[in-house]
């Protein structure tokens, strides 16, 4: 696909947003791709890679590169890498100092994303598939977290699962890592540049992309509204996982949160939620 330099810059910015989103449990990079208008191109490009042997690249590299839309993947991937590696340290600091503000931003972003994706689906599909999606999304947030995270094979498997979730515009890859007990060690590995862990997760991501992208492309081609209605439900059901004020007793109001000895940052939290909604609207405008 032919693009101007400014359009390629837009792809890089989308990648940056996807990388930042995937660092946060409960937020999907696929959602950012969908609302910013590159989701179908991303899935179709990845599915195209799995239909052809990588060895064909050496027969006609320029033709292969252009036919497989690899410049798009390269620019998007570089943007994602910048988002992940620059935001991992910042997220660790912000979650330690003002967690309600961080969660509020993503709560607003995902709430607005659910509205944006859901409003374009037929009501019948939303009732038939979206309502069960709400229940499934909520149950996903209740998964117990695993404790064993010492094996490189487990990091590889986590990469496979996380990237499949990343491709869906609702399911968070980082949340799946959290449920497997891998989120904290992977985040630490990124922040500390532990290449053995990063390589294991990356290898799993490559395998997961090649395995899942063709199936997802097929689903979107035949059952698009049903799938997106289901995923809209996922996003709504997973919103409690992003509620800004949470404690050992569950979801709290600001006063109850403050009673636990933690600062609720009410004004900053509400402002962050609004900024999240505005960020979604900016992504939608970029997609158009």
Q: What is the pLDDT at residue 54? A: 67
Q: What is the pLDDT at residue 194? A: 85
Q: What is the pLDDT at residue 101? A: 93
Per-residue confidence at 238, pLDDT binned at 50, 70, 90? confident
Q: What is the pLDDT at residue 55? A: 67
Separation of alpha carbons 125 and 283, rounded Å: 25
Which pairs with CB-CB distance under 8 Å and at least 24 residues apart come from 175-178?
175/25, 175/26, 175/140, 175/141, 175/238, 175/241, 177/25, 178/25, 178/145
Q: What is the pLDDT at residue 149? A: 53
Using left for φ > 0, alpha for ψ between -120 and 50, and beta otherwise, residue 278 falls in alpha
Q: What is the pLDDT at residue 143? A: 65
Q: What is the pLDDT at residue 12? A: 93
CB 131 within 8 A of CB 138: no
Q: State mean pLDDT over 235-259.
A: 88
pTM of the model: 0.77
Half-sphere exposure of 170 (CA within 13 A, CB side): 26
Separation of alpha carbons 247 and 37, rounded Å: 36
Q: How many CB atoms lie within 10 A of CB 135?
A: 12
Task: Answer yes or no: is pLDDT of 267 > 90.
Answer: yes
Task: Answer yes or no: is pLDDT of 202 > 80.
Answer: yes
Q: What is the pLDDT at residue 288? A: 65
Q: What is the pLDDT at residue 60? A: 79
In sequence order, the β-bridge partners of residue 203 are none
Q: What is the pLDDT at residue 270? A: 96
204 Cβ contact partners less than 8 Å away, ≥ 6 residues apart: 155, 156, 157, 158, 159, 160, 161, 162, 163
Q: What is the pLDDT at residue 147? A: 53
Mind listing the pLDDT tens digit for each residue in 112-152?
Answer: 989 988 998 999 999 999 999 899 888 877 766 555 555 78
Q: What is the pLDDT at residue 286? A: 73
> Minimal CA–CA distance to 175: which of 14, 7, 57, 24?
24
Q: How many CB atoms lie within 10 A of CB 196?
A: 10
Mind listing the pLDDT tens digit for each residue in 7-66?
Answer: 899 899 999 988 888 787 767 888 888 888 899 999 988 888 776 666 677 777 888 888
Q: What is the pLDDT at residue 128? A: 94
Separation of alpha carbons 21 and 235, rounded Å: 14
Residue owning tokens 């979206």: 130
Separation of alpha carbons 171 and 140, rounded Å: 9
Token duo for residue 111: 């709430």
């Amino acid at each position: 696909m032919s693009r101007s330099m400014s359009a390629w810059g837009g792809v890089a910015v989308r990648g940056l947003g996807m990388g930042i989103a995937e660092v946060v449990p409960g937020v999907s990079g696929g959602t950012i791709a969908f609302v910013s208008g590159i989701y179908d191109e991303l899935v179709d490009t990845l599915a195209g890679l799995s239909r052809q042997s990588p060895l064909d690249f050496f027969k006609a590299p320029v033709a292969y590169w252009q036919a497989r839309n690899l410049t798009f993947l390269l620019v998007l991937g570089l943007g994602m890498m910048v988002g992940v590696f620059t935001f991992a340290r910042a997220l660790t600091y912000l979650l330690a100092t003002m967690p309600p503000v961080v969660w509020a931003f993503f709560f607003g972003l995902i709430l607005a994303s659910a509205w944006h994706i859901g409003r374009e689906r037929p009501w019948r599909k939303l009732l038939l598939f979206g309502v069960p999606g709400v229940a499934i999304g909520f149950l996903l947030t209740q998964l117990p977290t695993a404790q064993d995270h010492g094996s490189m094979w487990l990091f590889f498997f986590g990469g496979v699962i996380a990237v499949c979730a990343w491709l869906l515009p609702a399911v968070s890859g980082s949340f799946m890592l959290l449920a497997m007990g891998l989120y904290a060690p992977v985040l630490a590995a990124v922040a500390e540049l532990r290449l053995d862990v990063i390589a294991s997760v990356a290898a799993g991501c490559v395998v997961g992309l090649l395995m899942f992208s063709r199936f997802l492309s097929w689903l979107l081609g035949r059952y698009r509204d049903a799938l997106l209605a289901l995923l809209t439900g996922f996003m709504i059901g997973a919103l409690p996982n992003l509620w800004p004020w949470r404690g050992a007793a569950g979801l709290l109001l600001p006063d109850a949160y403050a009673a636990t000895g933690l600062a609720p940052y009410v004004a900053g939290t509400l402002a962050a939620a609004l900024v999240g909604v505005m960020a979604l609207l900016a992504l939608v405008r970029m997609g158009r």
